[in-house]
Amino acid sequence: MKKSVLNEQDYYRKVFGGWLGKNVGGTLGGYDEGKPELLNLTFYPEIPDKPTANDDLDLQLVWLHALEQYGARITSKELGQEWVEHVFFPFDEYGYSLTNLRYGLQAPVSGWFNNPFTDCMGSPIRSEIWAMVAPGAPGVAAYYAYQDAIVDHAGGEGVYGEMFFAAIESAAFLESDRDRLIQIGLSFIPEQCRIANAVKDILHCKEIGKSWIEAREMIVGKYGNYNFTDAPQNVAFTILGWIYGTDFGDCILKAANCGYDTDCTAATLGAILGIIGGAESIPERWVKPIGHSVVVSPQIKGFAVPADLDELTRRTLQVSKEVIAIWNIPVTIDSRSATYVEEDIIRIPGEWIGDYNPRGLLEQSVSVNRYLLPEGAALNQGLEVSIDYGHGGPTVGMTERKKLILTLSNQSKEMWEGKLGLEAPSSWSTEKAPHYQLQPGEKLEWETVIETGGDRQPFYELSFHIHRWHDNSLWNSHTVRFILLSAGYWKLWGPSSTQAIEAVVPGNLLSFSKLLGTEEPGIYKAQTLLINPRKRNVRLIVGTPFPVKVHLNGENVLEDHEMRDFVPGYHRSYMHRLFEIELAEGKHVLDIQVQKGEELLELFVLPVAFTKTKTPGGNYYFTDILFGSADEQWDISNVYQ
């Protein structure tokens, strides 16, 4: 196999330059994050004495720890474990996916289910680590980016954004041509996704001679979203800064001056430019104010954080050696040889040498979880088990019949045979499990129905047993444990309703048009029983753009008559759309009234913690609070605490 050579010192300065550019851009844009207007920055708005703490870098320090902890064959499963252990952010998609992970769900379901932020910037901003440990291998970097992004963005544009940037940054270790790098990035994502279209539109604007401000206005008009973290507009602004900028400073300034998610756009572009040119390409005027320190948010906990960029770079390099070996990447890092790039080694998918193409992963259903057996296997060379949760996703109501599809695929070189079993809570009923016999390459699909009991818990653990036989005797057993969440119960009224409709809701979103079958303007009402197992401070978010009135146990606790843009984040909801209360243990009747206009009515109801908590990491979701029917009787002792 032909191999390129990266001199170790050249590799070091490119990695260091990427991390340094990340800090510079994140600090520049951090002051104006979320402003949707055209900005006029010429330098740091406030002269700093160190980098600004930023989740753009924070999370990549966690991923570095994950690579050190689990090795180069890391997957979304291990990354999900790292989220729960080390990340206490409530921000948008982070908050929703962390809630799912805390319940026990795994990716991609953890990133897809009940998550309104799958199209956002939380994953595109953390692509650099995967590129740096897989230099010159954009397919491998994009694979890691996929494993990362599906934990909290499965099924959304956020996955494409991270794969796009990771591929560019990995290729940038061997390729410096900007236009070629952009095409390499585009080759890894769907041709007609919004990010790809936005990037192609920006390139067209430059080609036909439009100014960068005209190009920005085109993006805002065609792809703009009132949620400033929406990925297509911000990925496009990053590319805008790159193709319209004249040097490092001008590039990151143009990206940041587009507004919206300014820290992310400037930080990612700073990292790309730092990788291409190395640390020495970043002007001293940008470096001197912030230095080489690493500053971490207090919500990132539980592992050894690098003291500075030198330690971060050295640890990144150490991990890369294992990644290069495991993936057989056609790049050698050598301290004694000069950097040499094998001609045309970086090509678009289907043409290049010795790299991996992860595009097929995007075809997998995000509502299905997959497991490899034996447990802990890193390679799919035994039995692959998948669980399709069907209608409503991984949720279930009381006394409900729910269909599950459990699939076994034999990826080994020998026959597997034996008997299956499904273990559920004692009050539930399950169907008799079949025997199985699978030759290599064969697949078995078991479509089964479970019937739940009348008890109520926030979540339920089920076990899928695969008993394996040898010589007609039990040889061993494998168990896949999975979670079903308790659905919410609501009574709903539309403008013309004379009687309530009872609805079982799988998450926190009440979509009235789907549930009631009407979109007529007027007053809509919703009622549920809020079941709280212990006294605590609760921020209850009642999220909708429309005027709203809320009663708790008959008392008016929230009333707002204005229309307001609403983003259903745990941490950044308008004070006009939430109330905070010390909520007593027990059952509380919650009544919500919304004055709907012509637009679609969607209502989020989110019980979260106060912002200030005993330790950093507030606004997290209360996974043990339940939504029940106000007409039903509940035994609070049965609620998980």
Q: What is the 3-state secondary structure (H, E, C) of 543-590?
A: ECCCCEEEEECCEEEEEECCCCCCCCCCCCCCHHHEEEEEECCEEEEE
Output the pTM of the full model: 0.96
pLDDT score of 392: 87
Provide the CA 588 distance to its chain's centre, in angstroms: 33
Report whether 261 belongs to an annotated binding site.
Answer: yes
Q: Span 4-353: which CATH code? A: 1.10.4080.10
pLDDT score of 565: 86
Confidence of residue 600 (pLDDT cuts 50, 70, 90): very high
Is 420:438 a contact under the CB 8 Å cutoff? no
432: CB partners within 8 A, 6+ apart? none
Instruction: For 318, list phi and psi in degrees, rounded to 5.
Output: -65, -45
The Cα–Cα gap between 431 and 449 comes to 7
Angle at 144 between CA 64 and CA 128, to 5 degrees: 55
Kindly tell me the sign of the dihedral angle through the C-alpha atoms of 239, 240, 244, 247.
negative
> SS3 breakdown of the chain: % helix, strand, coil, rounded to 5?
35, 25, 40
Which whole number is the average pLDDT over 332-351?
78
Quickly tell me which residue has 């982070």 as its tokens.
94
Q: Span 488-638: which CATH code? A: 2.60.120.380
Quickly tell me which residue has 């399950």 as its tokens.
430
pLDDT score of 563: 94
Q: What percent of the chain has pLDDT over 70?
A: 96
pLDDT score of 640: 29
Helix and strand counts by DSSP (H, E) for the chain: 17, 23
Cα 272 to Cα 72, 159, 170, 234, 285, distances in angstroms: 23, 18, 9, 15, 19
Would the pLDDT of 334 be above 90? yes
Confidence of residue 548 (pLDDT cuts 50, 70, 90): very high
Cα 558 to Cα 153, 506, 539, 601, 618, distances in angstroms: 32, 25, 12, 18, 22
Quickly tell me which residue has 């599809």 as its tokens.
405
Would the pLDDT of 348 be above 70? no
Per residue in 552-596, pLDDT (tens digit) is: 999 999 999 999 988 999 999 888 999 999 999 999 999 999 999
DSSP per-residue codes, 35-70: B-SPP--SS-SS--SSPPP-HHHHHHHHHHHHHHHH
Q: What percent of the chain has pLDDT over 90?
A: 92
The class level of CATH for 367-486 reads mainly beta
Would the pLDDT of 100 be above 60? yes
Looking at 479-483, 530-534, 563-567, 634-638, which range is the least confident one?
A: 634-638
User: What is the average pLDDT value for the chain, to the nearest integer?
Assistant: 94
Nearest C-alpha neighbor of 460 from the set 416, 430, 496? 430
Which whole number is the average pLDDT over 245-269?
98
Confidence of residue 635 (pLDDT cuts 50, 70, 90): very low
For the chain, where do the domains classified as CATH 2.60.120.380 start and end?
488-638
Which whole number is the average pLDDT over 33-42?
97
Bridge-based pairing of strands 473-486 and 395-396 is parallel
Report whether 263 belongs to an annotated binding site.
Answer: yes
- Cα-Cα-Cα-Cα torsion 178, 179, 182, 187, nearest 10 degrees, comes to -140
Is 163:358 a contact under the CB 8 Å cutoff? yes
Nearest C-alpha neighbor of 114 from the set 123, 124, 103? 103
Confidence of residue 632 (pLDDT cuts 50, 70, 90): low
pLDDT score of 524: 98
Would the pLDDT of 634 be above 70? no
Kindly tell me the sign of the dihedral angle through the C-alpha atoms of 236, 239, 245, 249.
positive
Confidence of residue 636 (pLDDT cuts 50, 70, 90): very low
Q: Which helix (H) or strand (E) holds 458?
A: none
Nearest C-alpha neighbor of 253 from the set 272, 238, 266, 263? 266
Would the pLDDT of 346 be above 70? no
Confidence of residue 352 (pLDDT cuts 50, 70, 90): very low
The Cα–Cα gap between 383 and 404 comes to 19
For the chain, where do the domains classified as CATH 1.10.4080.10 start and end?
4-353
Quickly tell me which residue has 């075809």 as its tokens.
363
pLDDT score of 639: 34
DSSP reduced 3-state for 611: coil
For the chain, where do the domains classified as CATH 2.60.40.10 start and end?
367-486
Confidence of residue 323 (pLDDT cuts 50, 70, 90): very high
